[in-house]
Amino acid sequence: MPAPSPRPQISALERYHSPQVDVPVRLNTNESPFDPPAAWLAEIAAEAGNLRWNRYPDRSAHRLREALAVRHGVEASRIFAANGSNEVLQTLLMCFAGPGRNVTVFEPTYQLHSHIARTLGSEVIAVARREDFTLTPDDVRAAVRPGACDVVFMCSPNNPTGICESRATVRVAAEAAAEAGALLVVDEAYAEFADWSAMEMIADAGADVAANVVVSRTFSKTWSLAALRLGYCVASPAVVECLEAAVLPYHLDAFKQAAGLAALGHDDDMRRRVAAIVSERDRITAAMTRLPLRLWASGANFVLFRPEIPAAGLWRELVDRGILVRDCGSWPGLAGCLRVTVGTPEENDAFLDALSACLGRGQ
């Protein structure tokens, strides 16, 4: 008897995953190397005892959304929260992409944008960045044309290059999306590491591009909460209504709502961790500049580099020395590239020692 066959879009896909290799120093998925604050843990432990576990959670997650709204100076009707920003992106694409619609990405960029678009049957339009992975306002203007685009992704700082897009580039993308009747999704998973955010373009609900731009954020990286699976976006109320209609009922569990709300009370702690990571990032960048490799200056918590020797061999040698980085070699435009996440000072020392030794510059 024939086995059930998935839709062709699904069988054609490679699974998106990062190898979970068990080594002492894991610098491959851009997580924070630091624990969230102990006080937060105590708060949510107490909260777990107060929850009404027999009841469905607040479907509208209104306390969490209120707090996020205050944080960004917008109305709560403009916030949508979900299980990680990946679910935010998936829900956006369920509403605005899918069969008969297209999704524009600027490669190399975050692989999940095109991956989710394909799982939903959308056409993916991959536009190549310049050789140095930058993108100018003119490049964007040429790619986002009226009548030709449904959804456009920008990622700033961009994973995996680390490059922060300029205000001018994102501004042109927003204007072009507005003219084209398209949705621009600015993925700001690393926003707190950057010195500006596209939120400023849409904070005012009456801004000319506010109906066409969505900015997504996550608790996974800067908030040290990858295990919590919580992300959100700021969008127009009309877009949020679509997202609420498409997402499963009660998708955000009560504990997660409480834990996210509690985390927002520890903003100072988050900023201290971000500052520590930025200073470590600058230290490893300076050290790597002296090695035989090309690197891209990063505005996030990772550094992309291309060693002069074959990257796959170097990746293996680093694993043998107990250090896991990301091999980006199979991603569009990234042949020969590896990406290292900034870890603790000790982990970064271990990485730099191993890298120097592998590249023949060990002491």
Ligand X SMILES: *Cc1c(COP(=O)(O)O)cnc(C)c1O
Rounded Cα gap, residues 247 and 168, in angstroms: 33
302-307 vs 338-341, strand pairing mode: antiparallel
Q: Please give the backbone phi and psi of residue 13, each rounded to the nearest 5 degrees, phi first.
A: -85, 145
Token pair for residue 268?
């100072």
Minimum distance, C-beta of residue 155 to ligand X, in the bound complex (Å)? 5
Ranked by CB distance to ligand X, the top (closest) residue is 84
Task: For residue 190, give the nearest of 152, 229, 161 by alpha carbon.
Answer: 161
Task: For residue 36, give the nearest of 228, 312, 169 by alpha carbon.
Answer: 228
Q: Does 224 bind ligand X (CB under 6 A)?
A: no
Minimum distance, C-beta of residue 111 to ligand X, in the bound complex (Å)? 9
Task: For residue 239, give the nearest of 206, 212, 217 by alpha carbon.
Answer: 212
Minimum distance, C-beta of residue 221 to ligand X, in the bound complex (Å)? 6
Nearer to ligand X, 161 or 348 (CB): 161
Nearer to ligand X, 29 or 344 (CB): 29
Nearer to ligand X, 31 or 317 (CB): 31
Rounded Cα gap, residues 160 and 298, in angstroms: 9
Stretch in the footprint of ligand X (CB under 6 A) among 5-13, 216-224, 257-265, 273-281: 216-224
Stretch in the footprint of ligand X (CB under 6 A) among 60-68, 220-228, 257-265, 351-359: 220-228
Q: Does 348 bind ligand X (CB under 6 A)?
A: no
Residue of the chain from 43, 107, 165, 187 that contacts ligand X (CB under 6 A): 187
Minimum distance, C-beta of residue 100 to ligand X, in the bound complex (Å)? 26
Task: For residue 86, give the nearest of 49, 58, 114 by alpha carbon.
Answer: 114
Q: Does 191 bind ligand X (CB under 6 A)?
A: no
Stretch in the footprint of ligand X (CB under 6 A) among 44-52, 118-126, 217-225, 264-272: 217-225
Rounded Cα gap, residues 193 and 189, in angstroms: 9
Q: Does 257 bind ligand X (CB under 6 A)?
A: no
Positions 103 through 162 that interact with ligand X (CB under 6 A): 110, 155, 159
Minimum distance, C-beta of residue 95 to ligand X, in the bound complex (Å)? 18
Residue of the chain from 68, 69, 74, 85 that contacts ligand X (CB under 6 A): 85
Q: Does 33 bind ligand X (CB under 6 A)?
A: no
Paired residues of 214 in beta bridges:
185
Minimum distance, C-beta of residue 124 to ligand X, in the bound complex (Å)? 16
Stretch in the footprint of ligand X (CB under 6 A) among 54-62, 83-91, 119-127, 304-312: 83-91
Rounded Cα gap, residues 251 and 18, in angstroms: 25
Nearer to ligand X, 112 or 358 (CB): 112
User: How many other CB atoms are there within 10 angstroms of residue 190's CB atom?
Assistant: 25
For residues 35 and 224, the answer to whether their CB atoms sit within 8 Å is: yes
User: How many other CB atoms are there within 10 angstroms of residue 331's CB atom?
Assistant: 17
For residues 208 and 178, the answer to whether their CB atoms sit within 8 Å is: yes
For residues 249 and 170, the answer to whether their CB atoms sit within 8 Å is: no
Residue of the chain from 104, 220, 224, 298 that contacts ligand X (CB under 6 A): 220
123-128 vs 151-155, strand pairing mode: unpaired
Rounded Cα gap, residues 90 and 78, in angstroms: 18
Residue of the chain from 84, 137, 162, 307 that contacts ligand X (CB under 6 A): 84
Q: Does 236 bind ligand X (CB under 6 A)?
A: no
Q: In the complex, which residues of this chain contact ligand X (CB under 6 A)?
A: 30, 84-86, 110, 155, 159, 187, 189, 218, 220-221, 226, 231
